[in-house]
Amino acid sequence: MPELTTILFYIFAFITVGFAIIVVSTKNVMYSAVSLFMSLFGIAALFLLLRADFLALTQVMVYIGGILVLLIFGIMLTTKITDAEIKTNNLSYIPAAFFTTGIFVILIFVLYTTKWNQKTPIQNEETISQIGKALLSSYVLPFEIASIVLLVALVGAIMFSRKK
Amino acid sequence: MVELNYYLGLSSILFAIGVIGVLVRRNAIIIFMSIELMFNSINLSLISFSSFLGDVTGQILVFFIIAVAAAEAAIGLAIIIALFRNKGTVNIDEINILKW
């Protein structure tokens, strides 16, 4: 009988990968957005399994609450949902398959030939206080720069989408 | 017990799916979603390293990646909407005015 965490890992991994495949394969852009939503939820659950509670919440709030709503607005502004999906010419499938298989084989090769340095994970320790301390001591400058990046992106997005 | 390798394997599968999406699909919004999938696969591998090393630095990196991804989403969708307004399409094969 496998452990509960193992069963949960397989369930969430299956959800994530299955919906990710739907994202890239379905003809309807709206189905694709909804599948991305499920896939991102699966990844948030995997973050919880890895004891990254703060980032699981951040993932749900930023990706699902922010980016996905923005994406659905983008879909509704750019395509009519009943429209036929843009056709892909068949020529691009073969190089794409070669390229992707190459990347995948390299990643798996590196994964199994590297001796990863790992300890046994510490159980039941909250990460929020650790992240907060690190963000306001060692990583203050990147933290402030991130706020400036977000401000500039906001202003830039408004500039782009405004009518001339 | 789920090992580190399982998470890294899942992360590389997700990354490969994202690469397929970017290379095969012609709709700019689907390409955008595939890029988000690749971001998430990298976040997953960073968090698994962080968790299996007992070090919080990887999670801080993921925090910054999420912040930059939010900025990238806002700008990218604004660009796609501006493109649609000017060209009337989001098919990247028809957006070729920079192609010589």
Task: Report the CATH number at residue A18.
Answer: 1.20.120.1200
Q: How confident is the model at residue A81 (pLDDT cuts 50, 70, 90)?
A: low
pTM higher than the cut 0.95: no
Residue B61 near chain A (CB below 8 Å): no
B55 CB neighbours in chain A (<8 A) are none
Among residues A32, A67, A86, the one where a domain terminates is A86
Measured between alpha carbons, how far is A22 from A89 in angstroms, rounded to an integer?
Answer: 19
Q: What is the mean pLDDT of chain A?
A: 86
Residues A119, B53: C-beta atoms closer than 8 Å: yes
Is residue A6 domain-shared with residue A63, that is, in the same domain?
yes
Is residue A81 domain-shared with residue A148, that is, in the same domain?
no
Mean pLDDT, rounded, for A80-102: 72
User: By CA distance, what is B42's nearest residue in A?
Assistant: A43
| Any domain includes B99 | no
| Any domain includes A109 | no
| Any domain includes A56 | yes
| Any domain includes A139 | yes
Is residue A29 domain-shared with residue A81, that is, in the same domain?
yes
Is residue A78 domain-shared with residue A22, that is, in the same domain?
yes
Residues 6-45 of A with CB under 8 A from B: 6, 9, 13, 16-17, 20-21, 23-24, 29, 32-33, 36, 39-40, 43
Total domains in chain A come to 2
What pLDDT shows up at residue B53?
86
B91 CB neighbours in chain A (<8 A) are 86
Is residue A61 domain-shared with residue A8, that is, in the same domain?
yes
Mean pLDDT, rounded, for B40-44: 94
Q: How confident is the model at residue A2 (pLDDT cuts 50, 70, 90)?
A: confident
Mean pLDDT, rounded, for B27-48: 92
| Any domain includes B12 | yes
Mean pLDDT, rounded, for A20-36: 90
Higher pLDDT, A8 or B87: A8
Residues 16-55 of B with CB under 8 A from A: 16-21, 23-27, 29-30, 32-34, 36-37, 40, 43-44, 47-48, 50-54
> Which of A45-54, A125-134, B63-72 is predicted least confidently?
A125-134
| Any domain includes A110 | no
What pLDDT shows up at residue A29?
86
Minimum distance, in Å, between the CA of residue A48 and any CA atom of chain B: 10
- Percent of chain B beyond pLDDT 90? 47
| Any domain includes B97 | no
| Any domain includes B29 | yes
Q: Which long-range contacts (CB under 8 A, 24 or more apart) does B38-42 make?
A: B38/B14, B39/B65, B39/B69, B40/A39, B40/A40, B40/A43, B40/A63, B40/B14, B41/B11, B41/B12, B41/B13, B41/B14, B41/B15, B42/B11, B42/B15
Among residues A56, A86, A116, the one where a domain terminates is A86
Measured between alpha carbons, how far is A88 from A93 in angstroms, rounded to an integer?
Answer: 9
What pLDDT shows up at residue A83?
56
Domain range for residue A32? 1-86
What pLDDT shows up at residue A86?
59
B20 CB neighbours in chain A (<8 A) are 24, 96-97, 100
Is residue A5 domain-shared with residue A71, that is, in the same domain?
yes
In chain B, what's the furthest Cα-to-Cα distance? 55
Higher pLDDT, A97 or B2: A97
Residues B2, A85: C-beta atoms closer than 8 Å: no
- Percent of chain A beyond pLDDT 90? 45
Total domains in chain B come to 1
Is residue A81 domain-shared with residue A135, that is, in the same domain?
no
Domain range for residue B61? 4-87
| Any domain includes B92 | no
